[in-house]
Structure 1
Amino acid sequence: MTPQAKIAILQKLIQIPSVNDHEAAVADYLTTLFAPYPQATVERLTYAPGRDNLVVTIGQATGPRLGLSGHMDVVAPGDTTAWHHDPFGGEIVGDQLFGRGASDMKSGLAALVVTMLEFLEAGTPLPGSVRLLATVGEETGEYGAAQLTDAGYADGLAGLVIAEPSGLDNVVYTARGVIDYKVVSTGKSSHSASPENGINAIDNLMKFYNAVGPLMAQHTKTDPVLGGLLHNVDLISGGEQINSIPAHAELMANMRTIPAYPNQVIYDELERLVAQLNQQPGVDLALSYSYPEEAIPGDPNAPLVQLAKQVSDQVCGHDTHVVGSGGANDGAEFLRAQGDFASIEIGPGNDTSHQADEYVDLPEYLQAVEVYEQLIPVFLRQVAHQ
């Protein structure tokens, strides 16, 4: 495949506006790319109307299987007047391709797809198989990866490569988890001139707010790569009008967890705090979670990690760093699958993700294909000979 053809695939992906939805259109396009190759097994798993996960498997049925993962959704472009390029145009200026998802992470997804297509086109013998797990909903909760995991598509993997935009000079082997939670306080409204007739939901919510900070601050363990546990209350709302005692108030908080504190530890503490406060007269607090993900533990010396570093060093001519990530990704869901395997992130991209004029450097995108094409056969051979 020529460099121009590889770039054209990425352009087409950028031109599909799969903003937190409509991933089936991306799956449709990718399916057409694999259609000429009957040796590729293509499967769809629908999450919701217009939202299809895509699974493509190539190679030998016997032998180890390496998973490749990328998500098909993108975040909204935001204020389009802040863009100098059409967010869904795939415009090329010099060596840069602009558009929503160019960095996060349609360039990584395209590089994985091109790698598999080149294996098929060349008839490259693989000592095992490769499975693409293209997911929906990563940007809003990793629920496509969760669905694929529950359906068994990640069972028995020998390793997993996620093409998130780490930059090819980084191999990410461990990542923070996330807990987004909401606390709703229900009170009783009354005229503010007669507060004794009501229950102030804001006052009761603040009891939780004032207690949860010191409670989370007690988690003083730190990870040598990821750092400590992070807890931030980011949204608070409540009340109806200035002269009414508020009957409703709520807050939302974001936590970034580390392997030393599994999410269940945090759940237990939050639920215990809410239960204690609810024993006070008039307090009615309800706790809920949104798409929590566990932290991803990892071994920097795992064979997949070290091989990815070695290959990237050779292909790109730089010193690839073995690092951790502060953000959650689909790997947290896939690691629930049956089996014990290392998960890494390595993919093209930069810090323009989620910003106006998001872009990817095309030389890095093309290098990513080279990295994957060298990494995959070597890893499968190593595992097959163990």
Structure 2
Amino acid sequence: MDSVMVIAAQSIQRDAMFEFARNLVRTPSLPTQEGQVAALIADEMRRLGYEVTVDPMGNVIGRIGPGSGKKLLYNGHMDTVDMGDPDAWERDPYGGDIEDGILYGRGACDMKGALAAMIYGGKALLDSGVPLEGDLYVAAVVQEEPCEGLAMRHIVEDGGLRPDWVVLGEATNLQLARGQRGRIEVEVNIHGRSAHAAAPERGVNAVYGAARVIVAVELLAPQLNHDSFLGKGSIAVTEINSTASSRNAVPDHCSLYIDRRLTIGETETKALAEIRRILSREGVEATIDVPTYRSTSYTGYQAEARQYFPYWVTSEDESLLTTAMGIIEHTLEYVPRIGKWEFSTDGVYTAGVAGIPTIGFGPGEERYSHTVDDQIRLADIESAAQVYANLAARMLARGQ
């Protein structure tokens, strides 16, 4: 293993990788608007020697290897959240500024730095000359921010690419992640009966019904399951809307949106049953639904998915995880911590639905994601690229 690592580590084209990461940050890529950054990534992959495919949904998939054998897939999403208030930024969010070894800008941490590291880690593997008996895929995917797992479902189920292992490059601060809580979005539509506000007793105020539900949701939260690894389930009302014929009429409809985070032992069925019990106990007439995300990709491809994302946990003795631990220890000279993500990732599909062994390893600190201080250390991008190269060599090299 040591000889493979020395070759791979010496092959990183660090200056070109940093400039590529900078160009990625300089290229806005909101969900369904990733076309420009996708073209940039595809061109860079081709220049570096990847075999490149852009699928109907717009995911960019690069391959290195013989076209047979085991498949290791590195996953990173191209889309980012919006910049928000531009005046809140100290630097141009799309300027790609580098200062004191830190790259700043929207998507630097989440997760364009990791994409650059994956792509150049693959290039280092290619340049090393290590003979491979399996394929490395780097998948730069669309629309992860609004609907995690959607793109990977398309790659696996529609594209026919089912990897044997998946590494997610979401920010872990160069540590390891082996799971996350799931989540489900629930829409509660509360039905009332309108009346003139001067005689509210003639109607049924849907907002009052919503208020009882909100209090009950708050009281439910402490009772939710707790897992020693994933942590506690959570529930929160995140949006409320009501309708009435005028401001002096009793509202006949009120909708609530609930974000429910699921720990081990919690499923869609369980989460919905909890809300139904609240409605029954409070005497509130309502319907509940799991919303469907619908989108048209920058390619024109139309996709949809219910907003239910199962939790997932990869076993501590999974070979991909134990191998990654050894690679990090030898390459970066420390023993990595093994933890979990607080946020959601494409692992909800790869591990949670498809059952593919999945781990997380990426540069960047989670605390900078989605903030006006979005940033990543260049040294961490380089360290991640070395690990990506060495891990792929170890998993895919002939005789390993």
What is aligned with 2:265? 260
What is the SS of the residue equivalent to 2:265?
Answer: coil
Contact in 2 for aligned 1:183/1:287 (Cα 8 Å): yes
The CA distance in 1 between the partners of 2:85 and 2:309, in whole Å, is 29
Contact in 1 for aligned 2:37/2:78 (Cα 8 Å): yes
Does residue 145 in structure 1 map to residue 152 in structure 2?
yes
What is the SS of the residue equivalent to 2:40?
Answer: helix
What does 1:37-186 correspond to in 2, within 5 Å?
A: 40-47=50-57, 52-142=58-148, 143-155=150-162, 157-168=163-174, 170-186=175-191
What is the SS of the residue equivalent to 1:180?
Answer: strand
What is aligned with 1:347? 362
What is aligned with 2:42? 31
- List per-residue Cα deviations over 1:251-310 (Å, max 9, x = no partner): 111111112213333234435655x479x6x82434333522110122122221122122
The CA distance in 2 between the partners of 1:381 and 1:121, in whole Å, is 14
The CA distance in 1 between the partners of 2:392 and 2:22, in whole Å, is 25
The CA distance in 2 between the partners of 1:365 and 1:153, in whole Å, is 30
Does residue 292 in structure 1 map to residue 302 in structure 2?
no
Amino acid at match of 1:149: V
Contact in 2 for aligned 1:18/1:73 (Cα 8 Å): yes
The CA distance in 1 between the partners of 2:114 and 2:168, in whole Å, is 8
What does 1:12-23 correspond to in 2, within 5 Å?
A: 12-23=23-34
Say if 1:121 and 1:310 are closer, same or farther in 2 by CA, change over 3 A.
closer
What is aligned with 2:8? none
Does residue 364 in structure 1 map to residue 380 in structure 2?
yes
The CA distance in 2 between the partners of 1:146 and 1:158, in whole Å, is 15
The CA distance in 1 between the partners of 2:368 and 2:321, in whole Å, is 25
- List per-residue Cα deviations over 1:322-362 (Å, max 9, x = no partner): 11222110011123665x53211100001211111311100
The CA distance in 1 between the partners of 2:189 and 2:356, in whole Å, is 39
Contact in 1 for aligned 2:55/2:159 (Cα 8 Å): no
Contact in 1 for aligned 2:61/2:138 (Cα 8 Å): yes
Amino acid at match of 1:164: E
- Identify unmatched segments of 5+ residues in structure 2: 1-11, 293-306
The range that moved more, 309-318 or 145-154, is: 145-154
What is the SS of the residue equivalent to 2:79?
Answer: coil
Say if 1:264 and 1:151 are closer, same or farther in 2 by CA, change over 3 A.
farther
The CA distance in 1 between the partners of 2:221 and 2:131, in whole Å, is 52
Paired positions, count: 372
What is the SS of the residue equivalent to 1:35?
Answer: helix
The range that moved more, 29-38 or 305-314, is: 29-38
The CA distance in 1 between the partners of 2:105 and 2:45, in whole Å, is 24
Alignment root-mean-square deviation, CA:
2.5
Does residue 246 in structure 1 map to residue 262 in structure 2?
no
The CA distance in 2 between the partners of 1:244 and 1:129, in whole Å, is 64
Say if 1:117 and 1:304 are closer, same or farther in 2 by CA, change over 3 A.
same
- Identify unmatched segments of 5+ residues in structure 1: none
Contact in 2 for aligned 1:154/1:337 (Cα 8 Å): no
Contact in 1 for aligned 2:125/2:392 (Cα 8 Å): no
Shift of 1:71: 0.3
- List per-residue Cα deviations over 1:145-175 (Å, max 9, x = no partner): 23223315452x221101101011x200011
Contact in 1 for aligned 2:311/2:352 (Cα 8 Å): no
Say if 1:139 and 1:72 are closer, same or farther in 2 by CA, change over 3 A.
same
What is the SS of the residue equivalent to 1:139?
Answer: coil
What is the SS of the residue equivalent to 1:231?
Answer: strand
What is the SS of the residue equivalent to 2:30?
Answer: coil
Say if 1:113 and 1:294 are closer, same or farther in 2 by CA, change over 3 A.
same
Match of 1:283 among 282, 285, 291: 285
Contact in 2 for aligned 1:136/1:145 (Cα 8 Å): no
What is aligned with 1:318? 334
Contact in 2 for aligned 1:58/1:130 (Cα 8 Å): yes
What is the SS of the residue equivalent to 1:76?
Answer: coil
What is the SS of the residue equivalent to 1:119?
Answer: helix
Shift of 1:129: 0.6
Amino acid at match of 1:201: A
The CA distance in 2 between the partners of 1:145 and 1:376, in whole Å, is 20
Amino acid at match of 1:314: H
The CA distance in 1 between the partners of 2:194 and 2:130, in whole Å, is 71
Contact in 2 for aligned 1:188/1:246 (Cα 8 Å): yes
What is the SS of the residue equivalent to 2:94?
Answer: coil
Shift of 1:215: 5.2
The range that moved more, 358-367 or 328-337, is: 328-337
What is the SS of the residue equivalent to 1:310?
Answer: helix
